[in-house]
Structure 1
């Protein structure tokens, strides 16, 4: 189906690998340069991509996504058996799966983990209101009973972000105190600001079959993976050019020519990768006023922000649709007069309606993602022209993810996301996400969208959701952008992906 093509992410990749191309060479250490310190290693309690990138090597979910963005079994033995009324999911579990402490995974562990997920995770909470019961069926099956049909459930269980990871039943502490999962690598050591060290788990039981996206066989060729925080973007570029690390994540796209010309590294470009987004605090502070949010929306010139962040149009496109044309979800519904407007006078009129009195508009951003910061700088100038008193707060990414959890501390924060296979996975659509968007209009369109199973009907209902997004402005999509990373010429078996993974990878000594 057109909506599910991971190929769109690989179309401009400067390296091309087939599923069977991963190397078999054993041994070696892979150093991965990341944008900074993850705020946690518990992927249930965070929607930060960095957390998912690291933790997916230690923890696993019942399902994952294959190369076509279709849900595929991971810890589950097969896709769920769904009752005719869409309310009952019977999930059979793989047998012989062991946790890193040597114990066997059973239905008791899965049930306990899913209950933790529905209590702690933003996407778990999103599903929790619709779940009647989660219960074991023998040792190797579970049953989820819903109050009403909920089409996104399998995709939610597959996602590695706010993830429904499976933990031992007796190790469900919050905050997480022991990092015991079922993944191909296990936690060994964390030295803040130096590295997170994972080592091969010899008791790992892989899924069968050829690798396909995040699904299929997972080989443990590497002895060790070290995730090294490198917060400065320019430092990451120099490290990529010199070949200091095996993989360098999140490079400024303007470094493409330098990385491509390196004797040590290959450029990895995903096109289009995703969308930068301004999240609005709809629950507290001045941005809780819809007219003020509309003022922000019409004040901004999206194309100027994208140009500042990425330079050439080779690396971005100013498109209002929340999904690009490659997806069945692509639509311009609701965007007319609400995207790429840059109209200071219209914004001033809306501020007057909002009874704005010059209160600071607090914008949280980070230079660890340099494109966030550049967009924030341009946005601040357009907002000042419209009459806003802008307070731009530049912090490290870990601090930003902490502050956004407290609605008293911010009005807008800047983030980004890859294009996700299931729109219900988009974090700010959840009432438990930091923006706390929760209105009758949202509930009406999202409930209708989530209850419908037919893909074509869901596409039409998604247009209704997008109309409400543009009308109520819980967040502002800036545009589409490409993502640049780099891999060492000595690193094999890495398939370009939104959240890079390193099972099936190997290094040439």
Structure 2
């Protein structure tokens, strides 16, 4: 898709502050996409001791594995709250707090998990099957838990013995191990849970290489080396300090000045500038998730409530949503906003996923057809749309590009900015028209769909509710044959594309900037920097 001359002219008048972000800019030769292998392959010896300061692009929500919904929260959890399973550099699921991969009964409804022995939580409490049961039951039954859908297939957790648990399922659920490789598999100290209950996130205690020390809202989160960690000899750093630096140019500037040694989620127009600094390097991760425009088409009373009518032009009219999408040029967005460093797509399945069916097609930009649909709708133009966006410069720029593109088709987009966590609350509550929001992605495609597009899903901000989506996704989760799963997911994604509750724009790669004297960082396709073996090069 090539941007039209008219579109290029429209994009050229965007505010200078947004088109000329520092750290390399978006003009000239694009930055070279770094490789995710660059971090994982850096096994230089590191010194013991020291504090590593990491810039986060947003302030996480509560650091409670049961309620957390943010990527930045997962970044912090990756270094203080281990899970039953994890992924490795090849995106293969591997045991972490579990001692081995699960054993399944013939019908797939009994799942037995052996646990790692000799493990303690970061408060010294013993890690055992009772502790695992307490956390899993909290994840799946607590009314405030965002993990309920992740573990919905689990009907009972049984302690077999101190080192073994058994999960009884309502139905075979193939993605379960992948769910347990994320927050649904994070195990919390039972002592801390009993003491804090609903306020666990204010002082979280898990098993991990680092333990929670303090948090200053909007400013920083401090973790310290955990003396009770089962593999403490592997941990070299004394302390991790996460600084909240929302502005991408300030994050890049702090990297260059040395005030931080690692910067997460670099804006693509700062990648080139960071790469060119002789004291810095950039590695990439991500690609499992997506970013796009979520349109409220049925979230009348909250994401987890029954779908209902929404009184907005886009919410009421599938043909106006089609017109809105046809006004967008995904390639132009990628080049103009992201320096061409993202992966353009219109589906929620990664481009290299084994679950991606052949022949998935994305619509080309067609302003003429979009205008026809707008005219046929009978809605007076310009059609007003409020687009909620995170309040950082890059998202504002994306919103303004969308504003310019859709204006040609007869839409008048008002950009409403909000702090990221507030934006998520508006999404959950359904108090929005359209919003820019993404998902960091999971290795099993069920994790990109169930909570986000099925009826009453905890993150189904659009309020989509259709058996053409729900049924094949549920069937795929119970299916062990990969080809059949891909076929079922393709059917669901076709229906998602028709309803247009989400207009997927791209799969975002995550770019991690770091000082060249930092080594031992593990950075995988999930985009979560792991610092368990990190330190300063010896």
TM-score category by the smaller chain? Answer: 0.7 to 0.9
Mapping of residues 231-250 of structure 1, within 5 Å:
231-250=246-265
With over 3 angstroms needed to count, the CA separation of the structure-2 counterparts of 1:290 and 1:48, relative to structure 1, is farther
Matched, 1:383 2:412: no
User: Secondary structure of the equivalent of 1:53?
Assistant: helix
Q: Which residue of 2 aligns with 1:93?
A: 115
Mapping of residues 1-150 of structure 1, within 5 Å:
12-13=34-35, 16-17=38-39, 21=43, 23-119=45-141, 124-150=147-173
Deviation of 1:127 after TM superposition, in Å, equals 3.9
Structure 2: any 5+ residue segments left out of the alignment?
1-31, 301-309
Q: Which residue of 1 aligns with 2:306?
A: none
Deviation of 1:12 after TM superposition, in Å, equals 3.4
Matched, 1:399 2:399: no
Q: Find the aligned partners of 2:375 and 2:470 in 1 and give their Cα distance.
A: 27
Mapping of residues 28-427 of structure 1, within 5 Å:
28-119=50-141, 124-160=147-183, 163-172=184-193, 173-176=197-200, 177-206=202-231, 219-270=234-285, 274-282=289-297, 283-284=299-300, 285=310, 286=312, 287-289=314-316, 291=318, 292-311=320-339, 313=340, 315-331=341-357, 333=359, 335=361, 339-343=363-367, 345-346=369-370, 349=373, 353=377, 360-368=384-392, 370-407=393-430, 409-426=431-448, 427=451
Deviation of 1:372 after TM superposition, in Å, equals 2.6
Q: Find the aligned partners of 2:278 and 2:502 in 1 and give their Cα distance.
A: 42
Deviates more, 1:415-424 or 1:490-499: 415-424
With over 3 angstroms needed to count, the CA separation of the structure-2 counterparts of 1:116 and 1:419, relative to structure 1, is closer
Deviation of 1:78 after TM superposition, in Å, equals 0.9
Q: Find the aligned partners of 1:305 and 1:447 in 2 and give their Cα distance.
A: 33
Deviation of 1:419 after TM superposition, in Å, equals 4.9
Q: Find the aligned partners of 1:461 and 1:438 in 2 and give their Cα distance.
A: 17
With over 3 angstroms needed to count, the CA separation of the structure-2 counterparts of 1:481 and 1:104, relative to structure 1, is closer
Matched, 1:501 2:501: no
Could you tell me whether the CA contact under 8 Å between 1:273 and 1:483 is conserved in 2?
no
Q: Which residue of 2 aligns with 1:449?
A: 476
Could you tell me whether the CA contact under 8 Å between 1:322 and 1:330 is conserved in 2?
no
Deviates more, 1:340-349 or 1:22-31: 340-349
User: Secondary structure of the equivalent of 2:185?
Assistant: coil
Q: Find the aligned partners of 1:106 and 1:353 in 2 and give their Cα distance.
A: 61
Aligned-residue CA RMSD (Å): 2.8
Q: Find the aligned partners of 1:386 and 1:325 in 2 and give their Cα distance.
A: 29
Deviation of 1:442 after TM superposition, in Å, equals 1.2
Deviation of 1:288 after TM superposition, in Å, equals 4.0
Matched, 1:485 2:507: no
Deviation of 1:24 after TM superposition, in Å, equals 4.4
Deviation of 1:125 after TM superposition, in Å, equals 2.0
Could you tell me whether the CA contact under 8 Å between 2:374 and 2:409 is conserved in 1?
no
Deviation of 1:85 after TM superposition, in Å, equals 0.5
Q: Find the aligned partners of 1:76 and 1:36 in 2 and give their Cα distance.
A: 31
Deviation of 1:347 after TM superposition, in Å, equals 5.7
User: Secondary structure of the equivalent of 2:492?
Assistant: helix
Q: Could you list the per-position Cα deviations for residues 48-80 of structure 1 after superposition, in whole angstroms to 9, with x for gaps in the alignment?
A: 110100122121211111222122111111111
Q: TM-score, normalised by structure 2?
A: 0.82
User: Secondary structure of the equivalent of 1:222?
Assistant: coil
Q: Find the aligned partners of 1:191 and 1:277 in 2 and give their Cα distance.
A: 31
Deviation of 1:245 after TM superposition, in Å, equals 1.1
Deviates more, 1:150-159 or 1:357-366: 357-366
Q: Find the aligned partners of 2:136 and 2:378 in 1 and give their Cα distance.
A: 42
Q: Could you list the per-position Cα deviations for residues 286-305 of structure 1 after superposition, in whole angstroms to 9, with x for gaps in the alignment?
A: 35435143343233222222
Could you tell me whether the CA contact under 8 Å between 2:42 and 2:521 is conserved in 1?
no
Q: Find the aligned partners of 1:138 and 1:14 in 2 and give their Cα distance.
A: 40
Could you tell me whether the CA contact under 8 Å between 1:38 and 1:51 is conserved in 2?
yes
User: Secondary structure of the equivalent of 2:34?
Assistant: coil
Could you tell me whether the CA contact under 8 Å between 1:254 and 1:310 is conserved in 2?
yes
Q: Could you list the per-position Cα deviations for residues 329-357 of structure 1 after superposition, in whole angstroms to 9, with x for gaps in the alignment?
A: 33465635xx3434364366268549689
Deviation of 1:166 after TM superposition, in Å, equals 0.8
Q: Which residue of 1 aligns with 2:18?
A: none
Q: Find the aligned partners of 1:354 and 1:52 in 2 and give their Cα distance.
A: 45
Q: Find the aligned partners of 1:41 and 1:218 in 2 and give their Cα distance.
A: 26
Count of residues in correspondence between the two structures: 482
Q: Find the aligned partners of 1:144 and 1:290 in 2 and give their Cα distance.
A: 44
Q: Which residue of 2 aligns with 1:214?
A: none
With over 3 angstroms needed to count, the CA separation of the structure-2 counterparts of 1:265 and 1:412, relative to structure 1, is same
Deviation of 1:183 after TM superposition, in Å, equals 0.9
Q: TM-score, normalised by structure 1?
A: 0.86
With over 3 angstroms needed to count, the CA separation of the structure-2 counterparts of 1:342 and 1:50, relative to structure 1, is farther
Q: Find the aligned partners of 1:218 and 1:306 in 2 and give their Cα distance.
A: 44
User: Secondary structure of the equivalent of 1:460?
Assistant: helix
Q: Could you list the per-position Cα deviations for residues 158-212 of structure 1 after superposition, in whole angstroms to 9, with x for gaps in the alignment?
A: 024xx43211335432242431111111111112233111000111013xxxxxx
Q: Find the aligned partners of 1:362 and 1:85 in 2 and give their Cα distance.
A: 49
